[in-house]
Amino acid sequence: MSKPIKLNLENYSDNFFEVNHINGFLPKNSPLAVLPKKYTELQVLIDEMPIKKDDGTDGLLSKRGGIEEAVSNLSNLKHLVCEEEDIFLIQALFRAYSFLTSAYLLAPAHFNYIDTKKYGKAHNILPSQIAEPFVIVSKKLDVYPFIDYHYSYSLGNYVKIDKTKGYEWENLGMAAKFSGMDDERGFIMLHVDINQHSPQLIGSILDFLKSDNNESVNKSLSKCLSAMRNINERRQIMWQASRWKHYNDFRVFIMGIKGNDEIFGEGVIYEGVSDKPVQYRGQTGAQDNIIPTADIFTGVIGYYPTNDLTKYLLDLRSYRPKCIQNFLSDIKDEMGDSRLFDNLKKSNNEEGLCLLFQILDEIYYFRNGHWQFVQKYIMANTKYAKATGGTPIISWIPNQITAVLNYMSDVIDLIPVDSNYIDRSSNLDSLNKKRDLLTKQLQLLHGDNYNADEVFSLNKKMNLNDD
């Protein structure tokens, strides 16, 4: 059943991230919370920037023209950043400049939203005192010079309040922030929280690749199922960690250039770097690695439809650190589109098929939970039809939910009616209910004048609500 493992764990480290069964997708050490003294000017600006500062007073983003004036007085530190070699300092600089970039560019859109409840135009020129050092540190990390999920907004942005405690969001603060309010902290730090279970997920995959019989396969699948259940349990806390009514307090600042022409037009000129406008995707939870990893391992990726939405998900791979891209690519090479499913079928591993079905069910609940967040946090809050990553919000998640449901159908067809491991009948009924829910939601969303609350209420009516 097994074949030689070609994975090389050294390829999955850049010394900030080190993807393995110990760290998972979290940084190998806590990120720097504060820049060294030689960057005091930049650090002060980051501290002064949020709508609400740590001391409760109004920050630069609460005042029209506040961030623009502060940036005009900022020194160009490109010669300093050029000399840096420490990866944790480089990451902290990337985080600072990415926050400053998004705050500066999107401040006009933010204030237009306050006035009209519609996003206005962003600045289309990034001043050289931000652009030049930002591009330098981006090249050192080998990533795009724009706010991202890994090095900037989420995984590289946490600060443990009590260093003796774990990664529960309640114990995490943010090194940099836009709104400075607790809803932003809860929304973003919960992503760090769920990733505390990513070592278990990665460990289960590594165990599977070393397995040589049904017993060892099933042990690895049980471990994977446990990890996904833990992840979903923590993910559901989002409803308490961050209130949906306050999402727009910070949402505009994580909008990407690419896909958001209404805000950015043809793109942004990075002054001192190039005269041609550039476009980058915004920060999005879709850049997280848990579900892409689970999709590749289980074989959901083999059910992805061939369309632009799938292309978008695959495009997001390039917005990840190279070490994580390498990991995902190698797992894909090891697993193909159907290695797990094919192995379970060939070995007549009924227990394994039942475990796979349950893992797929957890992937469904993760995606459907995310879909419910979109319904309540975005669709009920604004008619702006684009996610922060630049995708149409009413179609891209259903695109992937459909893939999971189709795969689940194929798996349950191979599970005996009298299975000793799961209740096939009740699970089949549940699967049909999930299909019905998605069908009815998409029917409601067919027109432009959909009622987001009605779409959301269907979850409760069909007892598939996440909150």
Q: What SS3 string covers the chain?
A: CCCCCCCCHHHHECCCEECECCCECCECCCCCCCCCHHHHHHHHHHHHCCCECCCCCECHHHCCCHHHHHHHCCCCCHHHHHCCCCHHHHHHHHHHHHHHHHHHHHHHHHHHHHHHCCCCCCCCEECHHHHHHHHHHHHHHCCCCCCCHHHHHCCCCEEECCCCCCCCHHHEEECCCCCCCHHHHHHHHHHHHHHHHHHHHHHHHHHHHHCCCHHHHHHHHHHHHHHHHHHHHHHCCHHHHCCHHHHHHCHHHHCCCCCCHHHHCCCEEECCCCCCCECCCCCCHHHCCHHHHHHHHHCHHHHCCCCHHHHHHHHHHHHCCHHHHHHHHHHHHHHCCCHHHHHHHHCCCHHHHHHHHHHHHHHHHHHHHHHHHHHHHHHCCCCCCECCCCCECCCHHHHHHHHHHHHHHHHHCCCCCCCCCCCHHHHHHHHHHHHHHHHHHHHHCCCCCCCHHHHHHHHHHCCCCCC
Distance CA 47, CA 103 (A): 12
C-alpha separations of 121 from 100, 277, 385 in Å:
17, 15, 16
* Arithmetic mean of pLDDT over the chain: 91
pLDDT band at 398 (very low <50, low <70, confident <90, very high): confident
Confidence of residue 448 (pLDDT cuts 50, 70, 90): low
Percent of the chain with pLDDT strictly greater than 70:
94
Give the mean model confidence (pLDDT) for residues 30-44. 98
More confident residue, 259 or 278: 278
Band of pLDDT at residue 379, cut at 50, 70 and 90: confident
Rounded average pLDDT over 175-197: 94
User: What's the pLDDT at 413?
Assistant: 97
Q: Output the CA angle 284-287-289, nearest 5 degrees.
A: 145
pLDDT band at 395 (very low <50, low <70, confident <90, very high): low
Q: What is the mean pLDDT of residues 316-336?
A: 93
Instruction: Give the pLDDT band of residue 238 (cuts 50, 70, 90).
Output: confident
Q: How far apart are CA 90 and CA 81, in angstroms?
A: 8
- Lowest mean pLDDT of 20-29, 244-253, 303-312, 333-342, name the range: 244-253
Query: What band does 376 get if pLDDT is binned at 50, 70 and 90?
Result: confident
4 has pLDDT over 50: no
- The domain segmentation of the chain, as residue ranges, is 9-461
pLDDT of residue 445: 83
At residue 382 the predicted structure's pLDDT band, cuts being 50, 70 and 90, is low
- Residue 5 has a pLDDT of 56
Structure tokens that stand for 450 in this block: 């959909």
Q: 402 or 309: whose pLDDT is higher?
A: 402
Spatial distance between the Cα atoms of 112 and 119, rounded to a whole number of angstroms: 6
Q: Looking at the predicted structure, is the pLDDT value of residue 3 above 60?
A: no
Q: What is the pLDDT of residue 391?
A: 53
Please provide the CATH number assigned to the domain covering 9-461.
1.20.58.480
φ, ψ (nearest 5 deg) of residue 353: -65, -40
- Is residue 1 scored above 70 in pLDDT? no
What is the average pLDDT across 450-462? 87
Q: Give 160's strand partners.
A: 172
- Residue with the bigger pLDDT between 416 and 118: it is 416
> In the prediction, which pLDDT does 244 show?
66
pLDDT (mean) for 444-457: 81
Please tell me the distance from the alpha carbon of residue 88 to that of residue 33, in angstroms, as a whole number. Answer: 10
pLDDT tens figures, 147-167 = 999 999 999 999 999 999 999
Hey, what long-range contacts does 211-218 have (CB within 8 A, 24 or more apart)? 211/1, 211/2, 212/1, 212/2, 213/1, 214/1, 214/347, 214/349, 214/351, 214/352, 217/1, 217/343, 217/344, 217/347, 217/349, 217/352, 218/349, 218/351, 218/352, 218/355
pTM (two decimals)? 0.93
Mean pLDDT computed over 25-40: 97
Percentage of the chain with pLDDT > 90?
A: 74
